[in-house]
Amino acid sequence: MKAPFLIVETGQPALRLRRYGRFPHWIRVAAGLEASEAVVVNVERGDALPRREGFAGVIVTGSAAMVTDKADWSERSADWLRDAAHEGMSLLGICYGHQLLAHALGGEVADNPAGRESGTVRIDLHPPAQEDPLFSSMPLTFAAHSTHVQTVLRPPEGATVLARSEQDGCHAFRWRDRAWGVQFHPEFATHHMRGYVAFRGEELKKAGRCPTTIARDVTAAPQARKLLRRFVKHARGLHAR
Active-site residue set: 95, 185, 187
Residue 213 CB partners (closer than 8 Å, separation 6+): none
Nearest to 14 by CA among 59, 63, 61: 63
Beta carbons of 116 and 203 less than 8 angstroms apart: yes
Beta carbons of 62 and 145 less than 8 angstroms apart: no
Q: Residue type at 233?
A: K
Beta carbons of 233 and 6 less than 8 angstroms apart: no
CA 217 to chain centroid, in Å, comes to 22
Give the Cα separation of 60 and 69 in Å (integer): 18
Give the Cα separation of 52 and 142 in Å (integer): 34
Nearest to 186 by CA among 97, 82, 67: 97
